[in-house]
Amino acid sequence: MISSLNNYNVPKYEERFSLEKKHDYCVAIFVINEGEKLHMQLDRMQDININADIIISDGDSNDGSTDTKLLKEKGVNTLLVKKEFGKLGSQMRIAFSWALERGYKGIVVIDGNNKDSVENINDFVNKMEAGYDHIQGSRFIPGGQAINTPKSRLLGLKVLHVPLIRLASGFKYTDTTNGFRAYSSKLLMDNKMSIFRDVFTGYELHYYLAINAAKLGFKCVEVPVTRVYPKGKVPTKISPIKGNLNVIKTLIFTCIGGFNVK
């Protein structure tokens, strides 16, 4: 049982609604005030036959985009709302804990900003069914596409992010900043991973899972995906100087084992 995990800590949250479980897997969408971008993404997801229940892990949006009635109409199974300090890592721990308690075999994770190829969700599910534990979406393997990606993002990815995570993990990742991924319940429940710790409040949990899944011998693989940035100024929740410096600092700290279980 999940309650037997070491260092088990999950931020406080509200389960606004939850419908009947229909699939063995779920897809968690992470949002905070994504507005119409979330609604457009959900509409796209309704147009295809996704083999997973749709879960939203919300950072407590206040823009009306997570209205309960609207989300149900757009095919959402469950809405979880964070009620404690923390950003992406906290939303991830909430979604992971909830999904494991409900008995899902694995969870696909994706941002709610309508940039990612939701058409590939079933590819992640199929890889988990085939026994893979950490599935990384990649724009840079055959079949993947990076459209309108800012040059600064590509430079940071190719020069810093990918080399460091490759070195730390021993796995030849090609797209380590892409948040379109999937994790098996086996990986998330592993006590050596110990992901339910309050040190994981931001992007570090994505980095930590990618590195340590490979180091601990879990089955890792990449699948091709597409990510489309809008033309013009790139919308982002990371401040250009302080935010990016914190990302680099966190990346290096994770790569040198700063979050590893002692």
pLDDT for residue 257: 96
What's the pLDDT tens digit per position in 169-208?
999 999 999 999 999 999 999 999 999 999 999 999 999 9
Cα-Cα-Cα-Cα torsion 169, 175, 177, 181, nearest 10 degrees, comes to -80
What confidence tier does 245 reach under pLDDT thresholds 50, 70, 90?
A: confident
pTM (2 d.p.): 0.94
Do the bridges between strand 181-184 and strand 106-111 make them parallel or antiparallel, or are there none, so unpaired?
Answer: antiparallel
Distance CA 65, CA 150 (A): 27
Domains of the chain by range and CATH? Answer: 9-255 (3.90.550.10)
Q: Where is 55: in which H helix or E strand?
A: strand 53-58
Dihedral sign, Cα of residue 188, residue 193, residue 199, residue 201: negative
Distance CA 13, CA 201 (A): 14
* 69 contact partners, CB below 8 Å, separation of at least 6: none
